[in-house]
Structure 1
Amino acid sequence: MEPTTAQPWDGNWLIMIDPYLWAALGACFAIGFSVLGAGWGIFMTGASLVGNAVRHPRITSKNLISVLFCEALAIYGIILAIIVQNKYAVSPYPLQAEDYKAAYAQFFAGLIIGCSNVGAGYCVGKLGAAIANADAADGSLFMKCFVMEIFGEAIGLMGVIVSVIMSSSSSFRGAA
C-alpha cells in the first residue's frame, strides 16, 4: 500500500470551510462587537457621569440618555443575530454556490453591524462624557450638545440598515 500524499494547495480555502460556520461567525461578530461597542461607550459615559454627578446631582437623570443610546447598540447586534439565525436551514442537498453566497452575506452582515457599533459606541461614549462635563459646567448646554450624540447613534443605525439589507439579500436553500 502506497502512502497517501497531501493534495496540492489550490487556493480554494474559502470553499473548504463549511458555509454554516461563516453564518455562525456573522452572528457571533454581530453580538460580540455590538456588546463591546456598547460596553465601551457605557464605560466612558458612565465614568464621566458618575464623577460629575458627585458635584452636580442635577445632571444624573437627563444624562442617562447617553447610557441608553449605548445600550441600544447592543440590542441592534442581538436583533441582527436573530435575523441571521433564522436564515439557517440545513439543506439535504449538496452545497451549491447559493449556500456560500448566503453564508458570506450573513458573515459580512454581522461584521458590518459589529464594526459600526464599535465605532458608534466609541463616538457616543466620548460625546456622552463631554456632554456630562459640559452639563455640569453649564446646564443650558445639554440640549445643544445632545444633538451631536444623536448623530453618533446614527452610525450604529446605518450599520443596522446595511446589515439587514445584506442579510435579507440571500438565504440558504432549505430556509423557509
Structure 2
Amino acid sequence: MASVIPTSGPGSLKCPYYAPFFGAMGAAAAMVFTAFGAAYGTAKSGTGICSMAVIRPDLIMKSIVPVVMAGIIGIYGLVISVLIGNSMAASNYPLYEGMLDLGSGLCVGLSGLAAGTAIGIVGDSGVRGTAQQPRLFVGMILILIFAEVLGLYGMIVAIILNTATSGLDCGHAA
C-alpha cells in the first residue's frame, strides 16, 4: 500500500517535520560564530592591552575600547537567535521559513566571526601602537568602527531574512 503525503498541514511537503531543525541550526550558527568572533576579538585585544600596560599603564582604560567592541558582536548573534527562536513553532513551521532562518543565522554568524577577527587584530596592534604614539588612538578607533560595522551589516541582512517569512503558514490538513 502506497503512503500518501499530505499537501498541507504538519508533515506535508510544505511543512515537513524536520523543518524546525534548520531554524534551530540557524539560531545555533548565529550564537556560535558570533561568540567565536567576540571571543577571538577579546582575547587578541586583551593580549595587546597586557603588553601595552607594561609600557604605559596610564592608557589601560583607553585601551579597553576594542574589547567592548568585540563584545558587541556577540550581542548581534544573540538578537538573531532570539528572533529565530521566537518564530519557531513545530506544528506550523514551513521548510521555506526554516531555510531562511538558517540563512539569517549563518549571515550574522559568519559576518560576526569576520568582524571579531578584524577587531582583534586591529585592537592588538592598535593598543600596542598607541602606547608608543598616543596620536594613533583616533585612527585605531576609526578602523575598529569599520570592522564593527561588518557585523552590523550581517545583522541587518539577517533581520531582513528573518522577517521575510511573515505570513507563511502550513495550512490545515484536509
Report if TM-score (shorter chain) is over 0.5: yes
Task: Name the structure 1 match of 2:40.
Answer: 40
SS at match of 1:91: coil
How do 1:39-118 and structure 2 match up within 5 A? Answer: 39-91=39-91, 99-118=94-113
Verify the 8 A CA contact 1:91 1:173 in the aligned structure 2. Answer: no
Q: Deviations over 1:101-143 (max 9, x none)?
A: 1000000100111000000000011110111011100111101
Matched length: 155
Q: Deviations over 1:37-65 (max 9, x none)?
A: 00011111001111111221122111111
Task: Name the structure 2 match of 1:126.
Answer: 121
Is 2:150 aligned against 1:173?
no
Is 2:158 aligned against 1:163?
yes
Verify the 8 A CA contact 1:27 1:107 in the aligned structure 2. Answer: yes
What is the Cα-based RMSD across aligned positions, in Å?
Answer: 1.7
Higher helix share: 1
Q: Deviations over 1:1-44 (max 9, x none)?
A: xxxxxxxxxxxxxx977110000000000001110000011111
Q: Deviating runs (4+, > 3 A) in structure 1?
A: none
Task: Name the structure 2 match of 1:23.
Answer: 23
CA distance in 1, matches of 2:51, 2:88: 46
Verify the 8 A CA contact 2:51 2:128 in the aligned structure 1. Answer: no
Q: Deviations over 1:50-104 (max 9, x none)?
A: 1111221122111111100000000110010000011112336xx7xxx011000
CA distance in 1, matches of 2:117, 2:57: 25
Give the unaligned 5+ runs of structure 1.
1-14
What letter corresponds to residue 90 of structure 2 in structure 1?
V
Verify the 8 A CA contact 2:105 2:158 in the aligned structure 1. Answer: yes
Give the unaligned 5+ runs of structure 2.
1-14
What letter corresponds to residue 66 of structure 2 in structure 1?
S
Identity of aligned residues (%): 26
